[in-house]
Structure 1
Amino acid sequence: MAENRASVYAEGVPCWVDAQLRDVEAGKRFYGELFGWTFEDEWYGSFAEALKDGEPVAALVRKVDGRLPTVWTVYFATPDALALARRIRSAGGQVVSAPVPAGDLGVTALVTDPEGAVFALWQPDEHAGFGKRHEPGTFAWAELYARDTEAANAFYGDLFQEALFGPDAEPDFGRAPVSDRFAAEMPPHFLVHFAVEDVPAALEDVTRLGGRVQVPPFETSYGTVAVVTDDQGASFALLRR
């Protein structure tokens, strides 16, 4: 397990991502070839931690209920998950799963913003989050696709003021209207972005491995992005800065 990096991730900074999959072994094959990840099984095989050059970068989690969505989830760092969950509820969000210990790794909770976009909280103990990011094959950005970006800016701006606007801000987190890239009926959601050196080449790899292109490459203020799904239907984005 990586050393504690709690001081690296201020409250409101994306510090971890995981994918809820029906078939973790298939996920290992897909992401292992796409991003060059290796894996260590944790908690008797209930999830696999993905490593890039020996450093933790993500996890693949076996779904306990087949009715749950196949999705990537972004975790925001916090020193106190219980207090943050209370603030989220007070601001109009919902607590889907109250803060609970994840063994000796940390404390986690699943929450939503007022529009229903799902995200997670992570209060670190032995596992502080990413050991590597902003490099090819690792987390690079999280974009919230919201129906009301002004309301989203107000909610997250109040919730994560220092991380988004403080003197040492490193948000790795933006907001955009759902209608910018998706059909009007798409619900508000977070889209996890992974860095790649070459978006067209990565798209070829995605399709070769059984995934598909959901949104072809487009330009943003933070780089060139394409939205894809893996071979089990989990959506994520490829980003070339």
Structure 2
Amino acid sequence: MDVEKTAPGGRAALAMEAAGLAWLAEAEADGGTRIARARLEGEVLRVVRVQPAAATDARAEALGRSLALLHASGAAWHSCPPPSAAAPFEVGSSRTPLAPAPVGDGRRWGEAWAATAVRPIVERCAASGRLDGDDARTVLRAVDRMAASDFDAPQPALVASSAHDVARIHGDLWSGNVLWSDVDTGAVLIDPHAQGGHAETDLAMLALFGLPRLERVLAAYDERSPLADGWRERIPMQQLQPLLVHTLLFGGGYAEQAVAVARALA
């Protein structure tokens, strides 16, 4: 039996999710991670149910290798939406539109990520009172450094050798969107915010909410597509955006975490 999904953003949001699933699934032919199958029917997205399995070392290693190949399938530019997307992506209060920039616009990762995914969320957190003035200014100083490319780093080896040096990322790869299953890639991915970006964004998201056997995943990824020096030290920086999204949605301790990360970066 399929899982039926609806969304606050209506059919447009569901269509964007379907486009992202299809785009990510293109990488399966080259060994990329298995992606959930879905079809859009009116105001409902029907997602084929995944048969679950336990997280094992073998499945974790398969996930790491396949995720490296998914990222290496590449994207046209940083923050680009899936090519088949009808419009920029925006749903509810947690996500922001992807950049409607032309191919080859030349923006580096930090500039694009700050403009499309981080600064708008900070501004909404401040407007809603989730961040007070001092905290918002602290976070914005870190975002300014991001926009100036102070935190830019090389992509993993396979992505760096691709045509555009931009990864094809899931974009919302927390542990709940990784369904361990008895498939050749160890897991099936669901619910993406698929876009062009930095591969380390997905890896940092896996770490944020504690994916089981994460070290096995990361070791296998690094073996298949070696990560750039210092990638572990960049994890908190890459976690700033999801922490801000959770601040906007839930407030509380997420705001404290986001400000602490920003303070270390600013």
TM-score of the superposed pair, with normalisation by structure 1: 0.32
Give the number of the structure whose residues are more often strand, by fraction. Answer: 1
Give the number of the structure whose residues are more often helix, by fraction. Answer: 2
TM-score of the superposed pair, with normalisation by structure 2: 0.30
Larger radius of gyration: 2
